[in-house]
Amino acid sequence: MGNLADMNFKKTTYIIMGGTTGMGLSAALALCDNGANVLVVGRSLESCEKAEKQLGNRGIALSGDATDATTMQKAIQLAHDNFGIISGLFHVAGGSGRRWGDGPLDKITLEGWNKTMELNLTSMMLSNKAMVNYFLTHKTAGTILNMGSVLGYSPSPKYFVTHAYAAAKSAIIGFTKSIAAYYAEYNIRVNVIAPSLFITPMAKRAAEDENILSFLKTKQPLDGGRPGGSEDINNAVLMFLHPDSKFITGQVLAVDGGWTLSEGQY
Give catalytic residues, as residue numbers.
165
Longest dimension (CA), the chain: 53
Given CA atoms 13, 18, 20, 26 in this order, what sign does their dihedral have?
A: negative
Contact predicate 148/88, CB 8 Å: no
Contact predicate 79/16, CB 8 Å: no
CA angle 161, 162, 167 (to 5 degrees): 120
DSSP string, the chain: -PPPTT---TT-EEEEET-SSHHHHHHHHHHHHTT-EEEEEES-HHHHHHHHHHHGGGEEEEE--TTSHHHHHHHHHHHHHHHSS--EEEE------GGGT-SSTTT--HHHHHHHHIIIIIHHHHHHHHHHHHHHHTT--EEEEEE--GGGTS-BTTTB--HHHHHHHHHHHHHHHHHHHHHGGGTEEEEEEEE-SB-SGGGHHHHT-HHHHHHHHHHS-GGGT--B-GGGGHHHHHHHHSTT-TT--S-EEEESTTGGG-----
